[in-house]
Amino acid sequence: MRYFPISIDLAGEAVAVIGGGVDAVAKIRLLLKTDADIRIFAPRPDPQITAWQQVGRVRHVARGLAAADLADLRLAYISGSDTDLRDAALALLKPSTIPYCVIDDLARSRFITPALVDRAPLSVAISTAGTAPVLARRIKAQVEDLLPAHIGICARIAGAFRPHLAEFSSGFRRRFWGRFFDVEAPTLFAESDPENGDDVEQRLAQNMRHLLAELAHESAPLAPPIAFLLLDSPDPELLTLQARRVLAAADMVIYDAAISSTILDYARREAELVIAHNADDVLRAHGVRAVRLIHKDGGDVDGEMVACLDAGLRVQRLASLADSVSDTPSTTPHWQIPHHRRQHSRESLSA
């Protein structure tokens, strides 16, 4: 990955746009979604820039960029439509450490701007590293269709409510947010009518308080099962959708050293990654949401599942490529482990 995606806080920060053409206007329109101090350097500004200047949304300077302008710049956009203006700005910016983007000119830029889906404070950035901007825009349109307009309100309310969940476990918090985003919020928005004075944000906050009280008084749920997955290919595209979801939600991933990094990339950043040396490593997963990734050439799925059952842990076998090309059922709950393996384990315990 050549371009590392980050989000920069531009509140009150100076951002320069050099050039006043149509391409500059498009970037200014995007920057106006932030709280940046937008400064336009252009001898001949587009009428839209003049209109923004008149209502105080940008500051326009009727010349090109000068050395004195660099003092407090956080980043800069440079129009490519006026090559003299562009080259003069680059001569000043290149010796500095200020990030700059020459619009539609990947080779001259220090950073690129992804296609953005804006559901403030939620945003989704889509980038093809400058290789296929049309594809990025097409994906953006698809993501916009998936994200309802009210999702931004949910994100804002959720951010304010997070301190109320600080004392609870990570498992409880995931259960709370899953219920809120999947059930409570969609139901409320379907029943609300903001145009007739319905205070959606107030009702959302009230629902969150009720949901917290409800879940906090429920009996403790069963410990999640350890999900076992036998892999015979390093290709993540061959993972089932269920396997990807379970892997993305796991708190702990226990894996054979031969498992490829492309598979491990599907785990959460916060998940604990543990290389399995023996069966005892799997037993460490008691009480947490865990996935055991076993390489086809070195693992004993049934044996490890039996060991977990004998230790009082719940287990689940997920569908994998190995399952799809064999007679093994795609999902093997703990009660479907071969009888002779379970019987052998019990006999050894009673001996």
| Residue-wise pLDDT tens digits, 109-120 | 999 999 999 888
Q: Which residue, among 284, 162, 179, has the nearest Cα to 226 in the 3D structure?
A: 284
φ, ψ at 310 (rounded to 5°): -65, -25
Span(s) in the chain for CATH 3.40.1010.10: 226-350
Asked if residue 279 has pLDDT above 80, the reply is no
* Residue 291: how many other CB atoms lie within 10 Å: 25
* CATH fold for domain 14-113: Rossmann fold (3.40.50)
φ, ψ at 148 (rounded to 5°): -65, 155
pLDDT band at 195 (very low <50, low <70, confident <90, very high): low
User: Are the beta carbons of 264 and 301 closer than 8 angstroms?
Assistant: no
| Distinct helix (H) and strand (E) counts, the chain | 14, 13
What number is the average pLDDT over the span 242-260? 88
Asked if residue 340 has pLDDT above 90, the reply is no
**Separation of alpha carbons 280 and 317, rounded Å:** 18
Which CATH code for domain 226-350? 3.40.1010.10
Predicted local distance difference test score (pLDDT) of residue 219: 52
What number is the average pLDDT over the span 154-165? 91
Phi-psi region of 12 (alpha: psi -120 to 50; beta: other; left: phi over 0): left
pLDDT band at 337 (very low <50, low <70, confident <90, very high): very low
**Separation of alpha carbons 113 and 99, rounded Å:** 12
Q: Which residue, among 147, 170, 161, 150, has the nearest Cα to 252 in the 3D structure?
A: 170
Q: Which of 14-28, 124-138, 196-210, 216-230 has the highest mean pLDDT?
A: 14-28
Predicted local distance difference test score (pLDDT) of residue 322: 44
**Separation of alpha carbons 42 and 62, rounded Å:** 5
CB-side exposure of 314: number of CA atoms within 13 Å? 9
110-153 pLDDT, tens digit each: 999 999 998 888 899 999 988 898 999 999 999 988 887 788 88
Crossing angle (nearest 10°) for helices 170-179 and 200-216: 140
Helix (H) or strand (E) segment spanning residue 143:
helix 133-146
Which residues have CB under 8 Å from 99's CB, separation 6+? 75, 76, 110, 111
User: Are the beta carbons of 50 and 34 closer than 8 angstroms?
Assistant: no
Q: Say what percent of the chain tops pLDDT 90.
A: 42
Predicted local distance difference test score (pLDDT) of residue 197: 57
What number is the average pLDDT over the span 275-289? 81
pTM, to two decimals = 0.61
Burial string for 165-177 (b: 16+ CB within 10 Å, else e) reads: beeeeebbeeebb
CB-side exposure of 141: number of CA atoms within 13 Å? 5
Q: How far is CA 89 from the centre of its chain?
A: 35
**Separation of alpha carbons 124 and 143, rounded Å:** 8
